[in-house]
Amino acid sequence: MRFLGRFLNRGRYIPASRILLVVAVIVLQWLAAAGQARAEESIGLLEEQAFRAAAARVARSVVRIEASGVSASAVGGPSEAAPASSPSTGLVVDSAGWIIATTFAIPADVDEAIVVLPATATGTGSRLAARVVGRDLSRGFVLLKVESPTALVALESSVPREKLRVGQWAIAVARGWDITTPNIAIGVISAVNRAWGRAVQTDAAVSPANYGGALVDIHGDVIGMLAPLPADTAGMMLGTELYDSGIGFAVPLEDIHRVLPRLQSGETLDPGVLGISYRSRDVFTGVPTIATSRPGSPAAEAGIQPGDTIVSVADRPVTRIAEVRHALAPLYAGDDVELVIERSDEKVAGTVQRISMRPRLVATLPPWQRAVIGIVPRRVAVQAENNRKEGERPVVVDWVWPDSPAAAAGLVGGMTVLAVTPPGKAAERVAVTSAAALAGVLGGVHVGDAVTLVVLDADGQEQSHRLATMAMPADVPAQTPTREEGPDGAEVIRLEAPEVAMPPVAVIPTGDATDPVGVLVYFTRPHGPVDIAEASMWRAAANRYGVAVILPGSIDPQRWSRDDIRGVARSIDSLRVRRGIDSSRLVMAGSGAGGAFAWLAAEALGPAFRGVALLDAALPRQATIEPSEPGRFRWVLFDPPRDNGQLPPRVENDRNRLIQAGYGVGVLPERESQMVPVETLCSFVEASGLL
């Protein structure tokens, strides 16, 4: 009408036919908009009805799980590692009373649970006692058996793996909150081959109460069981850290049905272990070249040696470590796996052999202890870590550990290591192209077994030495070699880095970019920013030992936090731009609260940090001690206050736990003053390069 009015007010003549046409267009547009709104409302109602129908199809098979008794893991441990204190969910997989739930709801030391069946219109749900019959430790679920006077309602149909597609509807159906009405969360499948091939990923909201519930498609067919699987590449080992993050995992029901008969017979299914580690630390793009084949492992018994490269797993070609892990992770202990490896032919330069083998995976490996021969290589700054030729530089002996096999054999600084032959009649000579290659061979040797080392002496003559390995020493040598005396003017700067709100102070020894340094990250008590003056005590020792010392500040003046760890990681990258870093000499240390935090920081930043020193501190209470293995070994030093020369009980307990796990553990001599032992800590960094 306003449109018509403008023309009428101007006194212009408008034919009636045109007025009728304009009115008709307006009416049609209004009708179209109203129709679209009704259509959108109708689509929304249809979607909601479809979601409800899909959930209703499985609702009678979704039960509530209540823990029976208390797990020891919930007593005195970190809250995130404890089992759910509130109810969780389970699924009926067989009408004869077989139900699956997660290990989150029923930890390893619990063998009973209460199953609450869905409530009916006439009354509350039945409560049934359930006993644990079998466990799948790889995928994190438990098989329960209940005795019921009536048959239970089992899940009807599942979606085959090959029909799963990213983007299709995924509906989480659980019963942790209400036994009358299941709780429902809507999302899509966001990935189909996650958790190293063991799970489907969804963005549907998944909480601890949902664990054990069903993930179904829009038709109500079951995709899988919701489970808190770990995201280990992101440092999340428990599986519960992703709660409320938009990332949830479900074990395909097809995989569960495949092993159900074994679980019903009472088996515990362990993840299959091959017993290898890789030269590259880049899990996603690194070439699967073997660094270590664990002694007594399926890999060692099959004949896999350091330097071999895996090129096929189960008849599938592989070129990256991630592809090997995806092929191996879904397998169980007792499974055989077809492998093809390539090995350089030492007799014919430039040629490789292709070797097929069929190792049988195991549940556990023999305890591992690090074996060394007593040489400390000259420092090398490794830049390329992901190539087949990564870090290929001669291993030149810098110095020899006192009273070691190398010292007894007469090895001295300046010699170049050419090759090593592991123990065993069928063992082949391995060219030593880097310190990592030599470390890989030694990682596959039992302490006390002998290796044959070929070295080049100062006169260019080859020498062959048979050396019996020894266990990793516990203590730092009294006289660790230092660099030639130079200026004491180690540079003190702030290590600026992107996204680091509080740059740490760093002490950088004299030298140019080609002179690689070791790195010591030292945490004091949390007190906010670090003053430049705090670095002065480190300058002389840092220069003598060629160690860059990083002194982080705490974002929160009252405590250390995970954000401080991220800042340390970025500051090390910033240091690497200025100076080459020897990756075999990275150490964390700290005093008091900073000592406990040093352990957590080393755990968070991974196996690159090979040493941790705790001054006036014990391990943090939430610390987990995984068994030592090649690629995950740490040298730990304690420096606690003594009572008549005795270690505090907590430190003594930590020390024993670490030793039992295979770590090298030493105790520093009792200090006469409260001054930080900067000389000892810098020599610790230098000594951590021991092989």
Give the pTM.
Answer: 0.73
450 and 469 Cβ atoms separated by less than 8 Å:
yes
The pLDDT, as a whole number, for residue 15 is 60
Phi, psi of 65 (to 5 degrees): -115, 125
Output the CA angle 174-179-185, nearest 5 degrees: 25
- Nearest alpha-carbon partner for 322 in 337, 310, 307, 334: 310
Give CA–CA dist 291/107, Å, rounded: 35
Query: Distance between CA 299 and CA 293 in Å, rounded?
Result: 6
Pair of tokens at residue 284: 């996603």
Closest to 173 measured CA to CA, from 160, 153, 187: 187
CATH superfamily, region 276-351: PDZ domain (2.30.42.10)
Predicted pLDDT of residue 349 = 66
Q: 610: helix, coil or strand?
A: coil
CB 286 within 8 A of CB 278: yes
Q: Tell me, which fold does domain 60-268 have in CATH?
A: Thrombin, subunit H (2.40.10)
- In angstroms, rounded to a whole number, what is the distance separating the alpha carbons of residues 315 and 340? 8
**Averages of pLDDT over each 10 residues, the chain, 691 residues:** 46 56 63 59 67 82 78 41 64 90 83 82 70 91 87 85 87 80 85 85 84 88 85 48 67 92 93 88 85 88 89 92 90 94 74 90 88 91 46 83 93 91 77 87 89 89 92 89 73 80 87 86 91 90 92 91 87 88 92 92 87 92 82 88 84 92 89 86 93 92
Question: Would you state the pLDDT for residue 366?
Answer: 81
Long-range contacts of 455-464 (CB under 8 A, 24+ apart): 455/397, 455/411, 455/415, 455/416, 455/417, 455/418, 456/415, 456/416, 456/418, 457/414, 457/415, 458/414, 458/415, 462/418, 463/415
547: nearest Cα among 392, 399, 379, 393: 379
613-634 per-position pLDDT tens digit: 999 999 988 787 888 888 778 8
CA distance 211 to 418: 54
Record the tokens describing residue 125, joined without a space: 């749900």
pLDDT value for 386: 37
| pLDDT for 654 | 92
Whether the Cβ atoms of residue 238 and residue 81 lie closer than 8 Å to each other: yes
Of 165, 157, 241, the residue nearest 201 (C-alpha): 165
Cα 491 from Cα 507, distance rounded (Å): 6
Whole-number pLDDT of residue 410:
93
683 Cβ contact list (under 8 Å, min separation 6)? 476, 477, 480, 545
Measured CA to CA, the distance from residue 130 to residue 96 in angstroms comes to 13
Residue boundaries of the structural domains of the chain? 2-52, 60-268, 276-351, 371-471, 491-687
| Beta strand 183-194 pairing with 222-227 | unpaired
- Cα separation, 252 vs 222, in Å, equals 8
Q: 468, 450 in Cβ contact below 8 A?
A: yes
Give pLDDT, residue 241. Answer: 45
Phi-psi region of 217 (alpha: psi -120 to 50; beta: other; left: phi over 0): beta
Burial of 211 (0-12, 13-18, 19+ CB in 10 A): buried
For the chain, helix, strand, coil in percent to 5 are 25, 30, 45
| pLDDT per position as a tens digit, 6-63 | 444 444 555 655 556 556 666 666 666 666 656 555 555 767 788 888 878 888 888 8
Other CB atoms within 10 Å distance of the CB of residue 168: 14
**What is the dotted CATH code of the domain comprising 371-471?**
2.30.42.10
Phi, psi of 514 (to 5 degrees): -90, 0
Q: Do 60-268 and 371-471 share a fold?
A: no
- Of 139, 242, 142, 240, nearest to 197 by C-alpha is 139
* Assigned token pair, 63: 């039960």
Amino acid 583: pLDDT: 87
The CATH class of 491-687 is alpha beta
